[in-house]
Amino acid sequence: MFETPLGIAIFVLLCILAAAILIIAPIYAVAYILLVIHLKRTKKSKWKGVVPSDNAVQNAMYGEGFEWSLKNKQYKKDLHIVNEGINLYGEYYDFGYDKALIFISGRTESHVYGYYFSEPYPESGFNVLVIDQRAHGKSDGKYNTLGYEEHKDILCWAKFLHEEYGVKNIVLHGICIGSSCALMTLTSPNCPDYIGGMIAEGMYPNFSESFKNHMIELKKPIHPVLEMVDQWFKLITGHSMRVGNIDIIHKLKKPILMLHSREDAYSLPVMAQILYDKIPHENKKLAWFEYGKHSHLRPENKQKYDGEIKEFLSKYF
């Protein structure tokens, strides 16, 4: 039957289908598993907060953070808001100021991660809000959407602080994915004037680039898995991992402090410089640190880290 032109065409088609089943389908399956592992909350206990770790630096960060929280527990208020039908939770440390920080953690972290970074803010006249982003901690949600949906929650939190607590000026401090969320908030057409600026640690050009660098470090195959993960992400969330900070940072009109390590293997220093150069105004600073792994910049450079933040806040707020 394969001797005629039609038969040959059928044979070729069958070969293509067989290849799709035997080769392409398993890769798509692996890509979906990667998406689920890294960006989907499959049960409430996932991304709930503090997880026992063999990373001594991270354990020390949590320890110092809890000390800060306990020291200031008399100022703490447990908060709850609802945005787009999603229950969101946070802790507000109200020191009586009319300015506030909203801390935005990276992927997998809950509000408790923000404790460690809060110290310089009350010293600069800022209250502190640490939050469980959607799909993290006590908050509802299934997916981490890399800031695309989460930045709407930040706008909601900011409005709540402004209307309920009389906060007149709000600064966002984001770590890794949190910095993307902060940038999306500030470049949103719905961003109000009382959100005045941002601090970004470990900002990357887009999540696809950061994810690729993770895969390189783990010595895992990159292509076509990376592209297939993005296809799953677009199918499920309506967004692309290939679109990110580098595509919107030219819209930023408010002050920004970028904190970046020359040792960052995920958010490469060369890309941080490119992002910084795309910011279209002079109310900006890129503070370089010689040491510190991705998301672990402050432990290696606490005095300078806090000093850069205090200088930025005193200059613009």
pLDDT at residue number 219: 84
Q: Which of 217, 241, 265 is the last residue of a domain?
A: 241
- 187 plus 233 within the same structural domain: no
- 28 plus 70 within the same structural domain: no
Residue 221 amino acid letter:
P
- 261 plus 286 within the same structural domain: yes
Residues 11-45 pLDDT 10s: 567 566 656 666 677 888 999 999 999 999 999 89
Q: Which residue has the tokens 């450079």?
A: 301
pLDDT at residue number 14: 58
Q: Which parts of the chain fold into alpha helices (H)? A: 5-19, 25-39, 56-71, 150-165, 177-186, 207-217, 225-237, 245-248, 269-278, 297-300, 302-316
- 137 plus 168 within the same structural domain: yes
- 85 plus 214 within the same structural domain: no
- 220 plus 294 within the same structural domain: no
Could you tell me if residue 71 is inside a domain?
Answer: yes
Rounded Cα gap, residues 171 and 117, in angstroms: 13
pLDDT at residue number 120: 98
Determine the straight-line distance between the first and last CA of the chain, rounded to whole angstroms: 79
Could you tell me if residue 45 is inside a domain?
Answer: no
pLDDT at residue number 4: 63
Could you tell me if residue 231 is inside a domain?
Answer: yes
- 6 plus 131 within the same structural domain: no
- Crossing angle of helices 207-217 and 225-237, in 10° steps, is 140
- 132 plus 237 within the same structural domain: no
Q: Which residue has the tokens 């001594």?
A: 56
What are the tokens at 251? 């819209």
- 269 plus 299 within the same structural domain: yes
- 125 plus 67 within the same structural domain: yes
Could you tell me if residue 306 is inside a domain?
Answer: yes
What are the tokens at 136? 């993290």
Could you tell me if residue 68 is inside a domain?
Answer: yes
Rounded Cα gap, residues 275 and 57, in angstroms: 28
List the chain residues with pLDDT less than 50.
2
The vertex-143 CA angle with 226 and 121, nearest 5°, equals: 105
Could you tell me if residue 48 is inside a domain?
Answer: no
> Number of structural domains, the chain?
2
Q: Are 254 and 198 in contact (CB under 8 A)?
A: yes
- Quote the domain boundaries for residue 23: 1-39+206-241
pLDDT at residue number 56: 87
- 16 plus 93 within the same structural domain: no
CATH number of 266's domain: 3.40.50.1820
- 89 plus 175 within the same structural domain: yes
Q: String of b and e for 236-268 (b: at least 16 CB within 10 Å)?
A: ebebbbbbbbbebbeebebbbbbbbbeebebbb
Could you tell me if residue 47 is inside a domain?
Answer: no
Could you tell me if residue 46 is inside a domain?
Answer: no
Residues 6+ apart with CB under 8 A from 232: 28, 31, 32, 35
pTM of the model: 0.93
